[in-house]
Amino acid sequence: GRAGFVSFSTDEAFVYHPFCDDFGPLNLAAVYRFCGELRDILTKATRPLLLYTRDDPHFANNAAFLLASFLVLELGLPSDEAWRPFHVLQPSPFAGYHDATFGATDFTVTVLDCLRGLEKASLAGLVRFKTPVEEGGFDIDEYEHYDDPINGDLHVVVPGKFVAFKGPVGDMPAGRLWRNERHVRTFHPRFYCPIFRGFGVSTVVRLNEQLYDRAEFESEGLLVRELYFDDCTTPPAEVMLRFMQICEDAGDGMIAVHCKAGLGRTGTLIALWLMKTHRFTAREAIGWLRVVRPGSVIGEQQQYLVDMQRKMWEWGALPREKQLELVTRGIAMLTIDAGVPERPPRDPDRLSRTSSAASAASSSAGGASPP
């Protein structure tokens, strides 16, 4: 390190494991561990600290995110103020975060978006680093255990409300709760049942095609709700409305949400709830979800959330009774008697009728179409 400084780096200690062309942000465990380590260094340091990183936007982003997160969560700085020293660097050494897909993208999330999401989550009580675990504080051991793809690939993304997890499959050798295939571990619904009991989950929401018998969950006293929509797409209005209804009906019970990977469709619906309930901006919601469950929200879902932001805020600002009334009225206007179809309807006339109904319902529900 340079003379007169205590030098340290995060490049090797905190590594992001990409799904595709994504390279960050680092997850909540990394933020927690960095905050603890920097706190320890500061208590012992007799010289100024120098955090260095290699000359690569991927590493610069993640190092700056960790350091600014410390300023927000440990020192209480507003996220914009914490980012100011980095913002003035010219030319900027930072790049926009790519979603968990391959190829060019016209939508990126900034380090500041992630910081703002982290700050908003902290203010909403979703992340509590300084609270003891037994009093509802962040449990690093539990988080890192279930974050591991061999232990379930699940995250409590909103404490007391949502667990996001990888979609289970029922096709397993007799008695087995998981199987490995091409270095990927897949789990049977029964694997998750005791975990969900521990978390206080009352409802499971499936967003992908049916790959298991719902009775596996129902026999354990869990309510199963099925809201299929296509992979990598945005939720139709009826799915969004029914999801909000499920969130109300669950009361104090937690809701475990999955699609195939538990990232795109799952993250998108939870982001809508965060925008409506806690007034996250779309970018804050994406930023927070990518920190707490890396890879969340992909492709067109990102811009969809931006387009939905004002509608969710307007809806969330209404008195609770009015919010519930709009959900009920919106669902009724869709005239779907048998629940949301497992597959999108193929009849073009029926599709246009459904779209018209959805459009009308979205107007009633604070709008599910772009402003």
Residue pLDDT tens, the chain, 371 long: 567 898 999 999 999 999 999 999 999 999 999 999 999 999 998 899 999 999 999 999 999 999 999 999 999 999 999 999 999 999 999 999 999 999 999 999 999 999 999 999 999 999 999 999 999 999 999 999 999 999 999 999 999 999 999 999 999 988 899 999 888 999 999 999 999 999 999 999 999 999 999 999 999 999 999 999 999 999 999 999 999 999 999 999 999 999 999 999 999 999 999 999 999 999 999 999 999 999 999 999 999 999 999 999 999 999 999 999 999 888 888 744 444 444 444 433 333 333 333 343 344 444 433 33
Condensed to tens digits (0 to 9), the pLDDT of residues 85-110 reads 999 999 999 999 999 999 999 999 99
Is residue 244 within 8 A of residue 328, CB to CB? The reply is no
Residue 149, both tokens: 């793809």
Indicate the helix (H) or strand (E) that contains 201.
strand 201-206
- Residues of the chain within CATH 3.90.190.10 domain(s) are 6-123, 153-364
Phi/psi zone of residue 56: left (φ > 0), alpha (ψ -120 to 50 degrees), beta?
beta
| CA 156 to chain centroid | 9
Catalytic residue selected from 114, 193, 247, 259: 259
Nearest CA to 49 out of 27, 59, 34, 28 is that of: 34
| Record: fold of 153-364 | Protein-Tyrosine Phosphatase; Chain A (3.90.190)
Select 6-123's CATH number: 1.10.3720.10, 3.30.1330.10, 3.90.190.10, 1.10.357.10.
3.90.190.10
User: Does pTM surpass 0.85?
Assistant: yes
pLDDT in tens, 185-218: 999 999 999 999 999 999 999 999 999 999 999 9
**Which pLDDT score is estimated for 350?**
33
Q: Kindly state the greatest CA–CA separation across the chain.
A: 74
What φ, ψ does residue 254 adopt, rounded to 5°?
Answer: -80, 155
User: Would you tell me how many other CB atoms lie within 10 Å of the CB of residue 348?
Assistant: 8
147-152's contacts with Cβ under 8 Å and 24+ in sequence apart are: 147/27, 147/29, 149/184, 149/185, 150/185, 152/187, 152/191, 152/192, 152/195
φ and ψ at residue 109, rounded to 5 degrees: -110, 135
CB-based contact 361:327 (threshold 8 Å): no
* CA nearest to 288, candidates 309, 303, 267: 267
User: Is 259 designated active site?
Assistant: yes
